[in-house]
Each structure stands twice: as C-alpha cells, then as structure tokens.
Amino acid sequence: MKRKTLTGVVIALLPLSIFAQEESRYAYTIGVYGGIDRNINGYRLDPNAYGNNFYSPSILWNSGVDYGLMVTGKLRPRIEFRYLQQRYKVGWENGNISTMKESVVYLYNFEVILRLDYLMLNKTSFQVFASPALKWEFTSGKDEKNIRKDGTHNWANYNGIINENPGNLFGGAVAAVLKYNITKYISITCTPEYTVFVNKYVESNSKLCQRTSLGFGLEFNFY
C-alpha cells in the first residue's frame, strides 16, 4: 500500500517537476554591449559631378542596451536600442575649391531593434541563440568638419552627404548570440550579425545598404 501511495505521489509530482525546470530558466534579461560595424554600399560609390571621391572607414562603432523575456524554455523576445556613429569623407582634390583638402561628415544614428531569439544549444555554461530581427534606424544628429590644405579646419556645413541620406532606414537582420554563463546571474555574450536594409543609404547608389557587425557584452539574468 505504501509503495502504491509513493508511486502515485511521484507520478503526481512529475509534471510539477518538469514545469519547475522550465520556470528555472531566465525570466528576463538585461544586456549591455559594444561592437564594430562594417557597411557595404553605405556611402556614395561613384564620384559626384565634380569628380570628388567619397570614403568611409572600414570599421565603425556601436553600443547598446537590450531587454529580453523568456516566454518559453526556448523563445525570448527582445527589444534593443543601439547607438551608431557613421563617418564619411569627401576628398576635394578634384574639386574647384583650391584651399580645401577634405570634409568629414559624422552622422549620429539610433536603431530600434525587435528580436525573437530561439535557443538552439543549451549547456550548463554555454548557450547559443538564433536571433532574427527587424530594424528601424534614423539619424538624430550630424557634424561636418572641413579640413583645409594648410591643416586648419572649420565646422561650416557641407550638405552633400546629408542631402543624399534618407534619414530613415528599415531592414532585417539575422544574428547568433553566443552566451557564456559566468554565474547564474551574469553572462558574457558575443554576437555576429548580418543586416540588409530595404532602402538605400545613399540615394545615388544602385545597390541596397548592408552591414556586418560583431558585438561583445554583458547580460544580467533575473529569475
């Protein structure tokens, strides 16, 4: 009789035990990170009508914060806010401004990103998420630095790049989140990502803007 009773209790508690294991996953997460970007077709590819060439550094920088919620044992919706600084150079060597060397244009951009992470690998200390995303990027500010051939400069406006920039970009991305759990509550992350925007960053380009990114961060886990 006791054995049957004990067996019945174990069977009754088994679903609760499974549910508890599911609930023991992270209830929600907060992440902070920094990283690097590389734009593809992200600046004017051809010289303008005056023969001036346009350039962009191969490495750009970003930083951000995100908030996630584990709605099941594998699915985690997240919202992310990212700051990016885009930088461009216009060479005046072929232009008709004999005193000017180049103009450097800084665009200060923000992104709002909606992600849906799917847990692909779950080990004690290591997890891998696949992370498709939708992005909205907009320009919130700008600076233009005009450098003369004698080394001096001014901050007078140069609008050649600003006028060609749409100010708003929409796109989709796919990323992998590699997560190493230092403790139960703190993790480090590495996130490679590829983005393609549905509109052109520079109107004169015939190809859509794309971006590759690599981010490193800390993630805080709350139960």
User: Mind listing the pLDDT tens digit for each residue in 14-45?
Assistant: 443 333 344 445 689 999 999 999 988 877 77
Whether 143 is in a domain gets the answer yes
Query: How many domains would you assign to the chain?
Result: 1
Which residue in 176, 177, 175, 187 sits closest to 26, CA to CA?
187
181: left (phi over 0), alpha (psi -120 to 50) or beta: beta
Using a 10 angstrom Cβ sphere, with 0-12 exposed, 13-18 middle and 19 or more buried, the burial of residue 22 is: exposed
Whether 21 is in a domain gets the answer no
Whether 176 is in a domain gets the answer yes
Q: Which domain holds residue 129?
A: 26-222
Whether 9 is in a domain gets the answer no
Whether 15 is in a domain gets the answer no
Whether 190 is in a domain gets the answer yes
Has residue 12 got a pLDDT over 50? no
Whether 155 is in a domain gets the answer yes
Q: What is the CATH number of the domain that holds 181?
A: 2.40.160.20
How far is residue 113's CA from residue 125's CA, in Å, rounded to a whole number?
A: 27
Whether 173 is in a domain gets the answer yes
How far is residue 210's CA from residue 201's CA, in Å, rounded to a whole number?
A: 9
The string of pLDDT tens digits covering residues 146-202 is 888 887 877 766 666 666 777 788 999 999 999 999 999 999 999 999 999 998 777
Q: For residue 71, give the 3-state DSSP assignment.
A: coil
